[in-house]
Amino acid sequence: MTTQTDNSCRPLRVLISGGGTGGHIFPALAIADAVSRRFPGSDILFVGADNRMEMKRVPEAGYRIIGLPVAGFDRKRLWRNFAVLVKLFRSMRIARKVVREFRPDIAIGVGGYASGPTLKAAQRAGVPTLIQEQNSYPGVTNKLLAAKAACICTAYPDTDRFFPAEKIVMTGNPVRKALLECPLTQAEAKEQLGFKADKPLVLVTGGSLGARTLNDALIKAVLSSSAGKSHFQVLWQCGGRDADRCRELTAGQLPDNVRLTDFISDMAVAYRAADLVVARAGAGTISELELLGKPAILVPSPNVAEDHQRHNAEALSLRGAADMVLDADAPERLWDEILTIIQNPDTLRLLSENISKLALRDSDERIVDRIQTIVGC
């Protein structure tokens, strides 16, 4: 695998499209950074969806981005999709103009609403495309784009059920390097967060926006006094949009061993401190847990296309690499599951060992290897 900067390679014009969630944006930025390291002076342009988080995160990382007025289909209220189709046609027109004017050497899709129109426009213009599929069960858009893609970079085995086998390369999902470079020991990380170094710590996180199901399970444990009676500590990130409700319902009843916060600014420290992680089953989160070797209870969100979080969680649970609690069962089962696992060192050790075996390292460089092959540099 090539991981060194090759000065004989010319700068590239790279179009990267996708976003909507951190699970799409962070891999996209990691790929962009790896391209910049490998091909100094490259011109990298992002295409995202208007009013989604990539329109803020990408410029903050130092890259240009163009927004498309694209939106997802409403599978429950079909009558609303006329407006979605109008936005899709407008997005296709803008995407064709972007490809025509930017003249990319390669177009990369990482998933998200904007990825489809952009890669389709690139393929029609004869631009080679690379798909970075993060999930174990691909979405409809990537399945449709796969036939004309030059390469499909995946994070799970057995994706030849969905994609042409000869185009698949197992690269893993790129993650934020800062998460892997925390210099603290676990004890130091616990103390920095204000916890006791000698007691187990459970990190419960639904991401920056939060997960209501996880929050409801923690609220129930706090109100029933179960949380306060436990021998372990809890760092509970409830998310910004649910913070007021969580604080109101637990006011005056939050035990000393439970810390409630709407946002964790340094996830590297939080991960390092945690003995057990409770989280949703997004592809990015799972890749982080694999690389860090963290025992986890995964509660897949039912509110995602293709139910891909459940497929992601099942892929790990079937290998003994994580515990899975379905969203519908979490309010009743999750706290008991936390109690069972955090009190069993052998279970924690086995989960850690098994999830570590699934980690694919240097994913960003592996993907850039494929880019280099495709563009013939």
138 and 167 share a domain?
Answer: yes
Examine the domain organization and report whether 346 and 247 are in the same domain. yes
368-375 mean pLDDT: 96
Q: What percent of the chain has pLDDT over 70?
A: 93
Indicate if 91 and 215 belong to the same structural domain: no
The mean per-residue pLDDT over the stretch 123-130 comes to 98
Mean pLDDT of 106-113: 91
- Does residue 369 form part of some domain? yes
Mean pLDDT check: name the lowest of 105-109, 220-224, 348-352.
Answer: 220-224
At 313, is the secondary structure helix, strand, or coil?
helix
Per the model's pLDDT, the better-predicted residue between 251 and 304 turns out to be 251
Angstrom CA distances, 232 to 14, 177, 281, stand at 48, 29, 24
What DSSP designation does 104 have? -
Mean local confidence (pLDDT), 95-114: 95
**Does 206 lie in the same domain as 156?**
no
**367 within some domain:** yes
pLDDT-based confidence at residue 12 (cuts at 50, 70, 90):
very high
Q: For residues 185 and 326, state if they share a domain.
A: yes
Q: What is the pLDDT of residue 86?
A: 85
Kindly state whether residues 242 and 184 are assigned to the same domain.
Answer: yes
Mean per-residue pLDDT, 337-358? 97
| 363: nearest Cα among 290, 304, 274 | 290
Assign residue 39 a region (left: φ > 0; alpha: ψ between -120 and 50; beta: otherwise). beta
My answer on whether 148 and 61 are in the same domain is yes
Tell me the CA distances in angstroms from 95 to 31, 117, 121, 129, 139, one per residue in order.
21, 6, 6, 14, 20
* Beta bridge pairs of residue 14: 44, 106
Q: Tell me if 6 is assigned to some domain.
A: no
Looking at the fold, whether 347 and 366 belong to one and the same domain comes out as no
Q: Could you read off the pLDDT of 202-218 as tens digits, one per residue?
A: 999 987 666 889 999 99
Same domain, residue pair 185 and 58: no
Question: Structural domain of residue 254, as residue ranges?
Answer: 178-356
pLDDT at 85: 84
- Does 4 reside within a domain? no
Question: How many distinct structural domains can be found in the chain?
Answer: 2
- Residue 344, pLDDT > 80, answer yes
pLDDT value, residue 113: 83
Domain co-membership, 151 together with 225 = no
Predicted confidence at residue 88, as pLDDT, reads: 87
Q: What is the model's pLDDT at position 278?
A: 97
158 plus 194 within the same structural domain: no
Token output for 228: 């306060």
Q: Judge whether residue 5 has pLDDT over 70.
A: no
> What is the pLDDT of the chain when averaged over all its residues?
90
Judge whether 77 lies within some domain.
Answer: yes
Q: Could you count the other beta carbons within 10 Å of the beta carbon of residue 67? A: 18
Please tell me the distance from the alpha carbon of residue 184 to that of residue 144, in angstroms, as a whole number: 45
**pLDDT for 308:** 85
Distances from the Cα of 18 to the Cα of 36, 55, 82, 323, 361, angstroms = 19, 11, 22, 30, 22
Residue 245 domain flag: yes
> Which residue is associated with the tokens 């992002």?
46
Do 147 and 89 lie in one domain? The reply is yes
pLDDT > 90: what percent of the chain? Answer: 68
Could you tell me the CATH number of the domain that includes residue 83?
3.40.50.2000
CA distance 353 to 33: 30
192 domain residue, yes or no: yes
String of DSSP letters for 137-167: S--HHHHHHHTT-SEEEESSS-GGGTS-GGG
The tens digit of pLDDT for each residue in 70-82 reads: 776 666 665 567 6
> Are the C-beta atoms of 281 and 312 separated by less than 8 Å?
yes
Residue 2 has pLDDT above 50, yes or no: no
How confident is the model over 240-284, as pLDDT tens digits? 888 999 999 999 889 999 999 998 989 999 999 999 999 999 988
* pLDDT score at 92: 94
Tell me, yes or no, whether 84 lies in a domain: yes
**What phi and psi values does residue 76 have, to the nearest 5 degrees?**
-95, -35
Residue 1, pLDDT above cutoff 50? no
- Mean pLDDT, residues 228-247: 90
Query: Do residues 19 and 48 make contact, with C-beta atoms less than 8 angstroms apart?
Result: yes
Average pLDDT over residues 311-315: 93
